[in-house]
Amino acid sequence: MKREVFKFKNFDEFKEDIEKLGANIPVSENLEIFKTKVILGDKTAPNSIALNPMEGCDALPDGTPSELSIRRFDRYSKGGAGLIWMEAVAVVHEGKANPRQFLINSDNLGAYEKLMDQMCENAQKAFNHKPVVIMQLTHSGRFSRPDDKPEPVLACRVPVLDEKYGLDDSVRIITDDELERLEEEFVKAAVLAEKAGYDGVDIKSCHRYLISGLLAAHTRPGKYGGDFEGRTRFLLNVIDKVKDATGKDFLVTCRLNGYDGIEYPYGFGVSKEDPLVPDFSEPVKLLNILEDKGVRLVNITMGTPYFNPHVNRPYDGGGYIPPEHPIKGVERLIQGIGTLKSQTKNMAFVSTGYSWLREMAQYVGAGILEKRLADFIGFGRQSFAYPDMANDLLYQGGMQRKKCCIACSKCTELMRADTVTGCVVKDKEVYVPIYKRDVK
């Protein structure tokens, strides 16, 4: 379903439009600012453009990157972004969100190593730089579907999500013992990622997968739920243990939901009175703890693609007509991330939610960087559609409208149709045949 599509014009008219729509969105034509390097402890990202994690759902059954996965990362690394945030990589088979999700273990370590080497070689050849590459480690929790049927395991019951996905009382809540063991699986996977040459790992804490669910598990009894200390215990234990098990220069980071839009006492970063209103006090408290632990990079997102996708990724076409103009969704993301950043001292923030803006994203991104509301401008769907967008932006005079993502949600349709995903519109040869075959 589509809302009336916002007409993207030139920079001046775009500026007028956002004013008319009353959106607080900074803009600037200073594209040179994207060339700013970002220092992350002992590592340096060569520019301020990030590719955000985008699952291609194209791994082999054992979680090893396939030819199609390798093609995606080839395109990313030849595209010029300074930070490549690899998509969700499961730490255990039962935590995969779909049968084709990446998974790292000692048997397929070599394939991940080769993928990383290839990325570095490509980037070196094309740009004489080395992108920072982060591997996102995940357990899918309530959204687990490792084989051909859902196998959810919950942090706690959440009426709105349970109802939407038909999860009754027979669905299991993960035990404290299982969580204790799972902490070690995250550590094992992080150690493997370091061995494979990745610059760091993200302990994925967003979009209501397992750890994000724990952060909101006010109603969970025991040591991994209830108060703030209990709800953050799993994430913080994993961060500590991974830091202990890896080298000093290895980046330990997390992609965190700053706000999930789910009502209290089931949400994180939401006002107790109104789930439509963020309350950043707990996310800020958590970020400050992470900062004290030496976490130097975070990636902030909002919402969940399964419940309120318009919060997660502003769109024109999707499963329902969003209750707000997409520009309001962009504003919530970028200003929320800026607010969180302003309450930390020494952490680099990746910002999210730019793909709907087409090539206007570069002006908004420049405005955000100028105002220091983020350190990286991160692109999700755009990276499927336009993997060399960074090259155009940095070195070819700017992004081109005709190459941009049109926020049509076909990549999500492919994912929901339980098949591999990518851009049906701008990467036609590969994904149109798959779309025609698999999307009914």
Answer for which of 134, 239, 421, 427 binds ligand FMN (CB under 6 A) is 421
212 binds ligand FMN (CB under 6 A): no
104 binds ligand FMN (CB under 6 A): no
Task: Report in angstroms how near the CB of residue 396 gets to ligand FMN at its nearest.
Answer: 20
For the chain, first and last CA: distance in Å? Answer: 15
> What one-character-per-residue DSSP string does 156-195 give?
S--HHHHHHTT--TTSPBPPHHHHHHHHHHHHHHHHHHHH
72 binds ligand FMN (CB under 6 A): no
431 binds ligand FMN (CB under 6 A): no
| CB-nearer residue toward ligand FMN: 176 or 438 | 438
Structure-token pair, residue 335: 């200003």
d(Cα 334, Cα 52) in Å, to the nearest integer?
14
Structure-token pair, residue 250: 């290895």
User: Interacting stretch for ligand FMN, rule CB under 6 A, among 49-57, 118-126, 186-194, 220-228?
Assistant: 49-57
User: Interacting stretch for ligand FMN, rule CB under 6 A, among 22-30, 50-58, 142-150, 263-271?
Assistant: 50-58
User: Interacting stretch for ligand FMN, rule CB under 6 A, among 127-135, 184-192, 223-231, 352-360?
Assistant: 352-360
122 binds ligand FMN (CB under 6 A): no
Q: Binding to ligand FMN (CB under 6 A): which residues in 246-305? A: 255, 301
Residue 12 Cα distances to 17, 18, 19, angstroms: 9, 10, 11
322 contacts 314 by C-beta, under 8 angstroms: yes
353 binds ligand FMN (CB under 6 A): yes
- Integer-rounded Cα Rg, in Å, for the chain is 20
| CB-nearer residue toward ligand FMN: 40 or 408 | 408
Instruction: Give strand ranges (E) for 270-380.
Output: 297-302, 348-351, 376-379
187 binds ligand FMN (CB under 6 A): no
Task: Report in angstroms how near the CB of residue 277 gets to ligand FMN at its nearest.
Answer: 21
Taking CB atoms, the residue at the shortest distance from ligand FMN is: 380
87 binds ligand FMN (CB under 6 A): yes
Task: Report in angstroms how near the CB of residue 206 gets to ligand FMN at its nearest.
Answer: 6
356 binds ligand FMN (CB under 6 A): yes
366 binds ligand FMN (CB under 6 A): no
355 binds ligand FMN (CB under 6 A): yes
Answer for which of 369, 411, 423, 424 binds ligand FMN (CB under 6 A) is 411
Max Cα distance, the chain (Å) = 58
The values of phi and psi at residue 223, to 5°, are -75, -15
Task: Report in angstroms how near the CB of residue 303 gets to ligand FMN at its nearest.
Answer: 9
d(Cα 134, Cα 121) in Å, to the nearest integer?
16
d(Cα 28, Cα 38) in Å, to the nearest integer?
20
Exposed/middle/buried for 16, CB within 10 Å: 0-12, 13-18, 19+? Answer: exposed
Task: Report in angstroms how near the CB of residue 207 gets to ligand FMN at its nearest.
Answer: 6
352 binds ligand FMN (CB under 6 A): yes
Exposed/middle/buried for 164, CB within 10 Å: 0-12, 13-18, 19+? Answer: exposed
d(Cα 189, Cα 172) in Å, to the nearest integer?
24
List contacts with ligand FMN (CB under 6 A): 52-55, 87-88, 136, 206, 255, 301, 312-313, 352-356, 379-382, 411-412, 415, 421
